[in-house]
Structure 1
Amino acid sequence: MRDVRDTRAAALSGILSQVRERIARWRRLPEVVQAVRSTAAATVAYVIAVRVSPEPAPLTAPLTALLVVQVTLYATITSGVRRVNSVVAGVVIAIGFSGLVGLTWWSLALVILASLAVGHLVRVHEFVPEVAISAMLILGVTQVGGAAWARVLETLIGAAVGLGTNLFFAPPVWVGVAGESIEGLARRVRQLMLRVAEDATGTAPPVQATARLYEARRLDHEIVEVDAALRQAEDSLKLNPRVREGLLHRIVLRTGLDTLEIVTVVLRVIARTLADLAKAREPKPLFGPEIGPVLGRLLSEIGDAVVSFAVLVTTDVSRSAESAESRLAEELATAGATRDALARLLLEEVRHDPRQWQFHGAVLTEVNRILDELDTEHRTRRLLEELDRSGREQRERNPRLARLRDLVGTPRLARLRGLWPGGRNRATPPGRSP
């Protein structure tokens, strides 16, 4: 009997563990987070509007809250301001037209045209149709004044509730999701490099070499998806009270993705070169018995370095970042030695048979470009350049605020530059205190 109870308890514990893991995964999905937050904000806005608004069914308030609440705080604030501006502009237009003309087909056309024009002038962006909608709804009622101010009041309630939802319940920082996307892209690049390395060590028919080229081209679509995840992470860092030095995190992730995009482009060029070489040498192998294995080993080592680079870019903890940087430096040194050996073999091959020297030289050139992009010193220079550029843009955009920061303490740019000395001493990760 005890064995049966122990078995049931173990099975129940396993089920509960699976449920908790599934809930934890759901909580990390932007769609789930957005649905829960939007539902809660709309409900609270309706409850408040019922008690305050003179309208019997104040649905504008929950509608505004539903539209205002976004995945990130920055998007919530910008959408809230635009939404309120669009409603106020539409109400003002409707009040002006109601005092001059009634509701006819030509007056309705004038209201819509004027509302759309004003919407573009006040720069409400995606809420331009909302200006015309508000004006038409107000123009169609008999008590224009009461309905107009009731609609403005409900809009303000919905916007305030939506903003308060993100202020009191801070939205998640999507840096982790963007980091996983970047690491996933790096691993897919590595897998393709391994397949290209296998082709280089044997006799790859032109059809197979061309298939590798198509695989490299398909990586462009995955870069677009990773870029979308990174943009969401960048928005989640803006104006977020839980994030310190969000500018550095945005630059680190953005420059990391830019480097991976360059590596992907260069890999596509290598695949194209090998495809052309396979056609030129058919039915012979791509390379000789000595060159092929060395090139295959070099591409494998570069693939490992690409993954280590992605781990370095997405690692938040300083100690782990130092370990990732050391591993990347070792892998780049190993790949550099293999590259030198490959260069000597290719030089000897060209001396004996110069017919395909342009293909050999192209492969060696593209390999050097990848190693240069992954180099830690190159990355440090790139980060400092981006930090300098961001600092200049901020000073040009808000010169008074920049002077105030200089007077109060250490300039922000100088503090940010001190947080990335060659990949070490990383910034405090989002949501953690130093």
Structure 2
Amino acid sequence: MKLTRRIQASQRSPLLQVLKTSVATAVAWIVSGLLLPGELPVFAAIASLLVVQPSINQSFAKAIERSVGVIAGVILATLISLALGQNSWIVILAILVAVLLSWVFKMTPGTGNQVAISAMLVLALGSSSPEYALDRIIETLIGAAVGFAVNLLIVPPVLVTPVRDSIARLGNELAASLERLASAMRAPQREADLEALMIEVRLLRPMREAADAAITDGEESLTLNPRKSSHRGDLKELSEVLDRLTPVVTQVIGMTRAFRDHYDDDLHAEPTVTAIAGELTRAAHDLRLVMRPAFIEPEPMTSEFPALTAPLQISPPQSTHWVLIGSLMEDLRRIREELLIDDPD
């Protein structure tokens, strides 16, 4: 099982990505074979195979990385072969020199490995003549260009939908957390109930991190993408929604922890706590309002107006719950500032 986890991804790559990689490899092989007859176009096939990436920007970066690595490796192999002749131990020497030069010039791992692999292939499979070296460089450039073109022309990936989905999950769970906390404030709670409440609210942090990672992937997918103009506005709007949700995540986790830590069986009878529970329910409503502009088909709401129309006014608590009430009120104030940021009042 451990070996399986090391060689298998959590999910399959999109079938379209597999088809694009196959098309790019086949086209690179054919084109390179026609332009440079005589040798099997292995370098072109490998280049196109590596260049087709999940985003256009990644494809461009991989094309540069692959091309630079091959050019350096081919030149290195040619120079070593011309200087020391044709011997089996020359291959090992070329690999060692390639690794050392990659370290000296601070090359990325991908580029450094490509230098060593290219030098090894040139010495092991081909000739060391300058003509052969030049052909392999041209062949690699053809493969990289074909891979980039295929990824650019065949449905360039746009990862805005995953961003929308991740923010929707975060927003819905955040609203549900507010409602769960409000319900807990209105009735006596067992120790197990309080722990379950805390466990559920802690899920907000990884969901927030997943949404942030989705934003990064979305921005990556639009870089150099010809379809970016029609999606850039959507991604910006989603990013703004996430910026407003992030501090609310912090406040809701803090409120839940404070409620758990300072809970006692008389808490639900405190009038101010009951009032705060009502405000949390309203905050959940307003949170869903904040999310609506970012989605294509939002679910219908019973009210389109913010429920937190005014700050909650309370008298100083007359019980031992004043520490908890003060903490909840401060967190509630901060949530209100985020949710009503566009409110004219």
Same fold (TM over 0.5): yes
Summarize the alignment of residues 5-404 of structure 1 with structure 2, pairs less than 5 Å apart: 31-54=14-37, 56-102=39-85, 103=87, 105=89, 108-109=92-93, 111-115=95-99, 117-118=101-102, 121=105, 123-124=107-108, 126-141=110-125, 143-145=127-129, 146-244=131-229, 249-278=234-263, 281=264, 284-288=265-269, 290-312=271-293, 314-315=294-295, 327=304, 330-331=305-306, 334-337=307-310, 339-340=311-312, 343-344=313-314, 347-348=315-316, 350=317, 352-353=318-319, 355-377=320-342
Report percent identity of matched pairs. 26
Quick one: higher RCO (CA 8 Å, sep 6+), 1 or 2? 2
Q: What is the Cα deviation at residue 50 of structure 1?
A: 2.7
Q: TM-score, normalised by structure 1?
A: 0.67
Residue by residue over 1:182-213, the C-alpha shift from the partner in whole angstroms, topping out at 9 and shown as x without a partner, is 11211111222222221111112233223222
What is the CA-CA distance between 1:242 and the residue it aligns to? 2.2
Aligned CA distance change for structure 1 residues 226 and 113 (closer, same or farther; 3 Å): farther
Q: CA RMSD in A?
A: 3.0
Letter of the 1:196 counterpart: L
Kept in 2, the 8 Å contact 1:45–1:158? The answer is: yes
Is there any run of 5+ residues in structure 1 with no aligned partner, and where?
1-28, 379-421, 423-434
Q: Offset at 1:84?
A: 0.8
**Cα separation, 2, equivalents of 1:375 and 1:127:** 50
Specify whether residues 38 and 304 from structure 1 end up closer, same or farther in structure 2 by C-alpha distance, changes over 3 A only.
Answer: farther
Deviations 1:226-276 (A, max 9, x none): 223222211122222223286655443333323322221211111110111
Q: How many Å separate the matches in 1 of 2:322 and 2:82?
A: 82
**Whole-angstrom distance in 2 between the partners of 1:54 and 1:154:** 11
